[in-house]
Structures are given as C-alpha cells and as structure tokens.
Amino acid sequence: MAVPDRRQSKSRSRKRRSHDFLKPLQLSNCPQCQTRVPTHLVCPTCGYYQGRTLVETEE
C-alpha cells in the first residue's frame, strides 16, 4: 500500500476543503406579495413566478 512521503500542510488541506461548507440560500423578494422567496422557485404564499400566477392559492 502506498504511503505519503510527507504530511500535508494545514493550508493545503483547508484550501481543498474550502468548497465543502454549506452556502446560505439566496433569497429575493416576491414582486407581488414581497415575501422572501428562494430564487427560481414559485412563491409559496401567492403562487407567482416569472410574471404570472402558476399555482392558485386559497385566500
């Protein structure tokens, strides 16, 4: 079995792991009801997406 010649430095390991962490959701305001909604998703409160109502909601 192969064994590494030298130990990896902390800097090298941390550079590799820099993309492993969770990123916060990108939220935008719904243009119709102004609630915070993740981008590229239908608004759960009013059903609005890209200029039209896609899901009818009971109000």
pLDDT for the residue 47? 87
pLDDT surpassing 70 at residue 58: no
CA 21, 22, 28, 29 torsion: positive or negative? negative
Question: Contact, 46 vs 32, CB < 8 A?
Answer: yes
pLDDT for the residue 17? 92
Q: For residue 33, is it within any domain?
A: yes
Q: For residue 34, is it within any domain?
A: yes
Question: Contact, 49 vs 41, CB < 8 A?
Answer: yes
pLDDT in tens, 2-56: 998 999 999 999 999 998 888 898 999 999 899 999 988 999 888 888 887 887 7
Q: For residue 4, is it within any domain?
A: no
pLDDT for the residue 23? 87
Q: For residue 2, is it within any domain?
A: no
pLDDT for the residue 57? 67
